[in-house]
Homo-oligomer: A and B are copies of this chain.
Amino acid sequence: MSKPSFREQMLRVREDAIVAAVNRLLAEKGYEAMTVDEVAAEVGIAKASLYKHFPSKEALAAAAMVKVLDRALAEVEALGTEAALAPIDRLRAAARWTMRMQLAGEMPTLPAQNSALRAALLADRGYLDRLLMLSEQLGGWIEAAQAAGEIDTALPAEVVLYTLFARACDPVLGMLQASGRHDDAQIVEWVLRTCFDGLATRG
C-alpha cells in the first residue's frame, strides 16, 4: 500500500462529506423526496460536481447505505468481542445502537417495497455483500440466544432478524421525539422494552 497523495486525500474527504450529507437527507426525508440540488447545497458544491463523483442519484444513495452498513458491521464486531455479554444482550445493544442513530438523524429509512432505490440496491454487490454479512452475524446471535432460552423459540430466526432490522427505522422513535416531552435516552429504553419484552405485562 502506497501512501495516498494529497489530492487523493482531498478527494476522499470530499466524498465522505457528500455521503454524510446524503445520509442525513435520506434519514430526514427519504429517497424520493431528497433532491440532488439539496445534497449539493448542503455539501456546498455545484450539482455538476456531484456527478463527477457519483454517476447518479441512485449511486449517491447506495453509497450512503453502504456506509451505514459498514458502521453497523463495525458496531457488531465491537459487540462480538465483549465476551461477558449474553447473546440476547448483544442483540439488545445492537438494537439500541440503531435507535440512537435514528434519533440522531443518521439512520436512513428502509426503502419502500416499490422504490427506485430498492432496485438499485438489489443490483449493488457491495450493498448486498454487507447486508448478508450483517444478517449472518446477527443470525448467529439469534440462534445462540434461542439455544440459551433467551429468545422465544416459537419465532423463526428469520422473523426475529427482520424485526430487528425494522426496529432500526421504527417510526415510534420519531413520534415520541416530536412530542418533545421525553429525552432521547428514555425514548430508546421504552422502545427497546416494547421490542424485547412486548406490550403485555410480564409475570
What is A's interface to B at a CB cutoff of 8 Å?
A: 28-30, 32-33, 88, 91, 109-110, 112-116, 149-156, 158-160, 162-166, 169-172, 174-176, 178-179, 190-191, 193-203
B201, A198: Cβ atoms under 8 Å? no
B113 near A174 with CB under 8 A, answer: yes
Separation in Å of the A164 CB from the closest CB of chain B? 8
Q: Chain A: interface secondary structure?
A: helix
Residue of B nearest to A177 (CB): B113
How far does the alpha carbon of A115 sit from the alpha carbon of B114 in the complex, in Å?
17
Given contacts A28-B113, A29-B112, A160-B199, 10 further A-B contacts (CB under 8 A): A28-B114, A29-B113, A29-B114, A29-B115, A113-B174, A155-B199, A156-B190, A159-B176, A162-B172, A196-B198
Copies assembled: 2
- Show 11 residue pairs from A and B whose CB-CB distance is below 8 angstroms, ordered by the A residue: A110-B171, A113-B174, A149-B203, A152-B193, A152-B197, A152-B200, A159-B194, A165-B175, A166-B175, A194-B195, A198-B198
B155, A194: Cβ atoms under 8 Å? Answer: yes
With A and B bound together, what is the CA distance between A124 and B36 in angstroms?
A: 31
Q: Which B residues are in CB contact (< 8 Å) with A170?
A: 166
Q: Contact: A190 with B88, CB < 8 Å?
A: no
Q: Are B175 and A162 in contact (CB under 8 A)?
A: yes
CB distance from A163 to the nearest CB of B (A): 5
Residues of B within 8 A of A115 (CB): 29-30, 33
Name the B residues within 8 Å of A112 (CB-CB). Answer: 29-30, 33, 109
Taking CB atoms, residues of chain B closer than 8 Å to A150 are 200-201
A90, chain B: closest CB distance, angstroms: 13
List B contacts of A196 (CB < 8 A). 198-200
Q: In the complex, what residues of B have CB within 8 A of residue A29's CB? A: 112-115
Report B-chain residues with C-beta under 8 Å of the C-beta of A151: 199-201
Q: Are A172 and B176 interface neighbours, CB within 8 A? A: no
